[in-house]
Amino acid sequence: MSNGYNFAFAIGGAAGQGIATPGNILARIFVRRGLHLYAYNAYQSIIRGGHIFLTIRVNKELVETHGDDLHLILALNQDTMTRHAKHVVPGGAIIYNSDSITPAEDLQEAIQLCGLPIKELTNDSRNKLVQNTVSLGVMLNLMGVDFSVLEEALTLQFKRKGQEVVDENVNMARAGYAYAKDNFTAFPAALPEQEKPLAVWTGNDAIGMGGAAAGVKFYVAYPMSPATGVLHWMAKNARECGIMVRQIEDEIGVANVALGAGQTGARTMCATSGGGFALMTEALGAASMMEIPVVFVDVQRAGPSTGVPTKTEQGDLWQVLGASQGDFERIIVAPKDALDAFDTVVELFNLVDHYQCPAILLSDLLISEGTFSVDPEAINMQPTIDRGELITEGGPSNGYQRYKITESGISPRAIPGVAGHAYVAPTDEHDEDGILISDEFTNPHKRREMVEKRARKLSTFFDKVHAPALEGPEDAEVTLVGFGSTEGVIREARQSLEEKGVTVNQLAVKWILPFHAEAVSGILKKSKKTLIVENNYSGQFHRFLRSETGLSVDGHIRKYDGEPFQPHHIVDGVMDHLGDKKGVTDGVFVPFQKILV
Amino acid sequence: MATTTTLPELKAKDFKGKVEPDWCPGCGDFGLLNSVQKALAELGKKPHEVVCVSGIGCSSNLPGYLSTYGMHTLHGRALAVATGVKFANHELTVIAAGGDGDGYGIGGNHFAHTARRNIDITYLVMNNQIYGLTTGQVSPSSETGMKTKSTPFGNLERPVNPVTTAIMNGATFVARGFSGHGKHLLSTIKQAIEHNGFSLVDVLSPCVTFNHDNTYDFFRQRIKKLEEEGHDPSDWKSACEKAMAWDDEIFTGVYYQDKNVPTLHDQEPVLEAGPIAHQTPGLTTEQSERIIKRMM
């Protein structure tokens, strides 16, 4: 980012030490000042203890990753100091409780150690969380922000808990702010302010909101990290938005309840992670056979099995490609960030209603639990809702056939309750009336006809969604290819590579199925050196790309340690592939994860 | 959505589906099918207002033999899908149907949870104590010692008790019927459909092909009707005691009914504006602005 302000800081401690609240307060302060941010929270599957490391990056322009550099750390425990103090770049600072934390010795040059006599500053308060508020005061002082800004933010944050709590927090923050003013040196560049205030959301918020905007009337789920945030958003907003939200006994139930609601005419969505999606798969095929529109969301986490529940991965691609028995049509899409996830949910609902088939939105922990700034005007809360060929008014049936063979393959869909159109939606193969052909006489010609009818529905898909396009100089030395959440980090890595004199363009793939094979082949055939960047071990996207295009590529950059790509990981990979390839084994470069969380 | 045309009073035959049942001659499921068609007619239902949702198995072919809306879903999932139908449009009469393997075995989890949810679905289980469509294996309701293709030396397990299971899981209407007693079954099914809440009717429905133990004769020798025994369905303890009987006497009729438990949809404020399937999808400007404001 070359606009003169790029600031990243982290708050580290154990679960239960209250990291989320200061994180939220700061995020609100930034977006109200019109600043963009991206926050990544590294944590474990534990409610108390463990190690949490929340990184927030602030910029005047859009930021799509938490970046490479850390300028400030608030260490709430010794562990954070020991692990991370060394990552703070020269000119940076470390804030810590000097009563209980010993400064690390492996610091980089010119680091300001901001030890706080917490006992003294908090009048020996027994409330351990107030030290976080003191530290907030220190942080805001170092960032060159007026105290009144923090005072306002704290008042907003705590007003529901009463004036006493507000006063206590404001006083503690003031003490920290004053102490910093007297004892530390603020960063040379003060936190800027831009005219237009922004908003803040997570990817899961965006998925839930996308559903609400798309007219979802029924949301059903079983809690599973990192998809639970969608359920929380939906549950919290359900009554206000007129959405029925139900938590069901398991994901098998969730998917099947979704089928019932979808069939009955309610726009229906369910979100889960890979394990839950595994349980939903039989219902996915049933949605195809019964031609019911339902949107499934798989928020990927590191697998297999229970895996690493709080870490990210792009490891479910082949699961969603092959989910459910049989050979059938589905839509799969992998958005790049929160706003894209919002728009994609909206788009998907119109597509599934049009094509009467299931769709899978493939998110991951990085998007879903990432916190993004967003321009509120960019969120289209009242998009066009197109329910497709839906019969909602009763009348004479005129020989209505639910699964009528049509040129487009799409048969007008009557929903239960509509007079004169009653039929049975079956999971068995059936004829145009919905009558089973698996009993008595199977009729191979009818079977063929029905398979082809369903398949034909998606033949117009490419008219409706955008093909991926090459970004960057056409004649670049390197083309970086990725899907879903890697788009932003690849873009930022390209900037760094350009500064190193390497020209790079990128191809970001979003729509997985149906796949724009022709467009992608056309682009990749012209590229000089193609490297695929993906967040898994075996190169799932590469294998998919090869199966769809027949193309092989020049190399890979893959990461599967649970932590997301940072720009330097991709830069390292590209440089190594272009150089002596010391880090490349069997065509694959695996970047080194420096920050251990 | 509802039509205003006055339709002539419907008869049981108006609830017959487009195809004839392909069950084995003598199958107990015929008795249930007849009772369901009569019950719907006698209750004044219209085919388009009823959705019959089944799983997989011989008995799960039921929706195809009715003229109502239907869904012939996956093995074990009838109750889950039916729940979705009822959530989306609670004005519909929703009947879930299937066999003992479908409902008490592979779908057992949904059975327990749908019961406690007290959603207004009538669940008709055609219990033949055998897996018929897979040609005769042990089922969760097969008796101990029963010899089947998968238990050639006799079943080592004890059978599930659907009646006590339903009562213990909070079902507000629990009954048992016998497909050989058509009139009594009809009356039981009508009461089940009219009950506002989850209702189970465990229908003893002999499999004449694969179960040679639990035959029509077996049941005729043992069945006693609860109403003739002076049983009070509001008496929970008596219901549980009666439900434990099997070897010498088997009771049919309504074991348990609690009319005072609110259904799920009665408690859902979102449904005050009518079925969600009929509500206008999308957000108003006011709703949108409130959501965005909270993000800033």
Q: Note the pLDDT tens digit of each residue in A267-294.
A: 999 999 999 999 999 999 999 999 999 9
Domain assignment of residue A192, yes or no:
no
Nearest to A256 among B22, B72, B80 (CB): B80
Chain B residues close to A261, C-beta within 8 Å: 84-85, 87-88, 276-277
Asked if A281 and A332 sit in the same domain, the reply is: yes
B295 touches A: beta carbon within 8 Å: yes
Asked if A226 and A323 sit in the same domain, the reply is: yes
Domain assignment of residue A261, yes or no:
yes
Angle between helices A567-578 and A487-499 (to 10 degrees): 60
Nearest to A260 among B56, B81, B270 (CB): B81
Domain assignment of residue A517, yes or no:
yes
Place of tokens 């009319």: B259
Which residue in A388, A310, A386, A373 sits closest to A347, CA to CA?
Answer: A386
Domain count, chain A: 4
B18 touches A: beta carbon within 8 Å: yes
What span, in angstroms and rounded, lies between the C-alpha atoms of A415 and A419? Answer: 9
The domain of B140 spans: 12-294
Chain B residues close to A201, C-beta within 8 Å: 295
Asked if A481 and A348 sit in the same domain, the reply is: no
Search chain A and give the residue with CA nearest B288.
Answer: A381
Q: Name A146's Cβ contacts closer than 8 Å, sequence gap at least 6.
A: none
What span, in angstroms and rounded, lies between the C-alpha atoms of A329 and A343? Answer: 22
What span, in angstroms and rounded, lies between the C-alpha atoms of B97 and B79? Answer: 8
Helices (H) and strands (E) in chain A, counts: 19, 25
Q: Which of residues 288-347 of A touch B (CB under 8 A)?
A: 290
Domain assignment of residue B266, yes or no:
yes
Task: Kindly determine whether residue B73 and residue A427, on different chains, have CB atoms separated by under 8 Å.
Answer: yes
Task: Kindly determine whether residue A197 and residue B49, on different chains, have CB atoms separated by under 8 Å.
Answer: no
Using an 8 Å Cβ cutoff, are A68 and A567 in contact?
yes
**SS3 string of B229-294?**
HCCCCCCHHHHHHHHCCCCCCEEEEEEEECCCCCCCHHHCHHHHHCCCCCCCCCCCHHHHHHHHHH
Pairing verdict, β A331-333 and A358-364: parallel
In chain A the first and final C-alpha atoms are separated, in Å, by 25
A394 touches B: beta carbon within 8 Å: yes
Q: What CATH code is carried by the domain that includes residue A241?
A: 3.40.50.970
Nearest to A379 among B5, B18, B292 (CB): B292
Chain A residues close to B18, C-beta within 8 Å: 433, 435
The domain of A262 spans: 200-378
Which residue numbers in chain A have pLDDT < 50?
A: 1-2
Domain count, chain B: 1
Q: What is the pLDDT, as a whole number, of residue B235?
A: 98
Task: Kindly determine whether residue B85 and residue A416, on different chains, have CB atoms separated by under 8 Å.
Answer: yes
Q: What CATH code is carried by the domain that includes residue A131?
A: 3.40.920.10
Task: Kindly determine whether residue A424 and residue B64, on different chains, have CB atoms separated by under 8 Å.
Answer: yes
Which residue in B214, B103, B217 sits closest to B163, CA to CA?
Answer: B103
Taking the CA atoms of chain B, what radius of gyration do you get in angstroms? 20
Phi, psi for A521 (deg, rounded to 5): -60, -45
Nearest to A200 among B270, B287, B295 (CB): B295
Q: Splitting chain B (296 residues) into consecutive groups of 10 residues, what average pLDDT does each group show? A: 62 96 97 98 97 98 98 98 98 98 98 97 98 97 98 98 98 98 98 98 98 98 97 98 97 98 95 97 97 96
Search chain B and give the residue with CA nearest A220.
Answer: B84
Rounded to a whole number of angstroms, the distance from the CA of B61 to the nearest CA of chain A is 9
Which residue in A17, A65, A10, A43 sits closest to A371, CA to CA?
Answer: A65
Could you tell me the sign of the dihedral formed by the alpha carbons of A56, A61, A67, A72, in that order?
Answer: negative
Task: Kindly determine whether residue A394 and residue B3, on different chains, have CB atoms separated by under 8 Å.
Answer: yes
Asked if A492 and A564 sit in the same domain, the reply is: yes
Chain B residues close to A240, C-beta within 8 Å: 287, 290-291
Task: Kindly determine whether residue A425 and residue B273, on different chains, have CB atoms separated by under 8 Å.
Answer: no
Using an 8 Å Cβ cutoff, are A362 and A316 in contact?
yes
The secondary structure of A25-64 as a DSSP string is HHHHHHHHTT-EEEEEEE--S-SSEEEEEEEEEEESS---
Q: What is the pLDDT, as a whole number, of residue B8?
A: 66
Asked if A278 and A205 sit in the same domain, the reply is: yes
Chain A residues close to B120, C-beta within 8 Å: none
B274 touches A: beta carbon within 8 Å: no
Q: Note the pLDDT tens digit of each residue in A520-572.
A: 999 999 999 999 999 999 999 999 999 999 999 999 999 999 999 999 999 99
Q: What is the pLDDT, as a whole number, of residue B7?
A: 56
Which of A232, A245, A264 best tests the B interface by mutation, with the highest count of B CBs <10 A? Answer: A264
Asked if A59 and A151 sit in the same domain, the reply is: yes
Rounded to a whole number of angstroms, the distance from the CA of B94 to the nearest CA of chain A is 10
Q: What is the pLDDT, as a whole number, of residue A441?
A: 79
Look over chain B and give the mean of its residue pLDDT values, rounded to a whole number. 96
The secondary structure of A64-111 as a DSSP string is -S--S-EEEEEESSHHHHHHHGGGEEEEEEEEEETTT-PPPS---TT-
Q: What is the pLDDT, as a whole number, of residue B5?
A: 56
Task: Kindly determine whether residue B291 and residue A201, on different chains, have CB atoms separated by under 8 Å.
Answer: no
Domain assignment of residue A441, yes or no:
yes
Q: What CATH code is carried by the domain that includes residue A520?
A: 3.40.50.920
Asked if A303 and A447 sit in the same domain, the reply is: no
Q: Name A457's Cβ contacts closer than 8 Å, sequence gap at least 6.
A: A329, A355, A356, A357, A408, A409, A410
For chain B, what percentages of helix, strand and coil (3-state, to nearest 5) are there? Answer: 40, 20, 45
Asked if A476 and A499 sit in the same domain, the reply is: yes
Task: Kindly determine whether residue A268 and residue B109, on different chains, have CB atoms separated by under 8 Å.
Answer: no
Chain B residues close to A236, C-beta within 8 Å: none
Beta bridge partners of A426: B72
A247 touches B: beta carbon within 8 Å: no
Asked if A134 and A238 sit in the same domain, the reply is: no
Q: What is the pLDDT, as a whole number, of residue A1?
A: 41
Domain assignment of residue B5, yes or no:
no
Domain assignment of residue B263, yes or no:
yes
B14 touches A: beta carbon within 8 Å: no
B175 touches A: beta carbon within 8 Å: no
